[in-house]
Amino acid sequence: MKLKEQSQDAFSLLETLLGILVIGLSMVGSFEALRLADLKARHLSIDHRLTELVRENSDYILYAAYDLLPSDGGVLSRGSLYQLYDAPSQSWHNFYNYAVTARVQVSNPGTASEVKNITLSLTYQIDGDSPVSPLKSQTVLSDVIERSKS
């Protein structure tokens, strides 16, 4: 009879330890899911910002006066893709710098039928392969925008 009571006590301890392990693993899994959701939301906002930047600069190229179009290698805009407000220091922190440059090819330069073919190049920084690795650089190229002088 005494042996049966001891095995019940050991089984009760094993159940408790197993329950603690299951709860601990589910909590770790929940925190990882929240971290992943935050990372996905940040990447989605950055992708949205990249789309806005390409559209904004393409619209400038399409609708600006011909004489105001950038020269080859000209920088149209630069800044950061993501900003985070730090309440203790009461300042904004910038992440993921970008620059939009124009690649310009001119046909029939100096004539009335001059044509500029402009490709926008958006170069930006993204996270490295691991949290401790340095930022990597990515480039997005737009379609060629053709503008004629006349």
CA distances from 106 to 43, 57, 148 (A): 37, 19, 10
Average pLDDT over residues 6-32: 84
Q: Could you tell me the pLDDT band of residue 8, with boundaries at 50, 70 and 90?
A: low
* pLDDT tens digits, one per residue of 18-30: 999 999 999 999 9
* pLDDT tens digits, one per residue of 84-103: 888 999 998 888 899 999 99
Q: Could you tell me the pLDDT band of residue 60, with boundaries at 50, 70 and 90?
A: very high
Helix (H) or strand (E) holding 92: strand 91-107
Beta-strand runs (E) in 26-87? 75-86
Helix (H) or strand (E) holding 123: strand 115-126
Asked whether the beta carbons of 76 and 53 are under 8 A apart, the reply is: no
For the chain, give every domain's residue range: 2-148
How far apart (Å, rounded) are the C-alpha atoms in residues 148 and 143? 16
Q: Look at residue 6 in the predicted model and tell me its pLDDT.
A: 58
- Amino acid code (one letter) for 15: E
Q: Look at residue 3 in the predicted model and tell me its pLDDT.
A: 54
